[in-house]
C-alpha cells in the first residue's frame, strides 16, 4: 500500500488499484546527476535513486524509490515495490 508521503507499495492488491506515476530517468555520465521526470515533469533536488529488479526470479523484490529534497530541506519520496 502507498503511504501518504509516497512510500513503497507493499500490498499487491492495493498496488493494482493505485495509479502509479510514469517515471523516466536520464543520465549520460556517471559523474552527472541523473535527470528524473515524473509524469513528464522534471524533478529538482534529486537526492537518492534506488532500483532493484530481476525478471528471472519472481521472488526478488522488484522495486524503485526516488527521494527528493524540497525547498526547505525536507526529504520526500516516491516508489513502488512488490
Give the pLDDT confidence score for residue 32 in this predicted structure: 86
Give the pLDDT confidence score for residue 57 in this predicted structure: 64
Q: What is the pLDDT of residues 41-79, one digit of tens each?
A: 998 888 899 988 877 766 667 888 999 898 898 998 888
* 35, 29 Cβ separation under 8 angstroms: no
Q: What is the pLDDT of residues 5-42, one digit of tens each?
A: 444 444 444 444 567 788 999 988 888 888 999 899 99
Residues contacting 21, CB < 8 A, separation 6+ = 38, 39, 78
Amino acid at each position: 500500500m502507498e503511504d501518504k508521503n509516497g512510500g513503497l507499495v507493499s500490498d499487491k492488491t492495493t498496488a493494482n488499484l493505485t495509479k502509479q506515476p510514469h517515471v523516466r530517468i536520464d543520465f549520460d555520465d556517471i559523474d552527472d546527476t541523473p535527470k528524473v521526470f515524473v509524469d513528464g515533469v522534471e524533478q529538482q533536488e534529486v537526492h537518492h535513486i534506488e532500483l532493484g529488479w530481476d525478471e528471472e526470479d519472481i521472488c526478488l523484490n522488484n522495486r524503485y524509490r526516488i527521494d527528493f529534497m524540497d525547498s526547505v530541506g525536507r526529504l520526500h519520496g516516491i516508489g513502488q515495490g512488490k
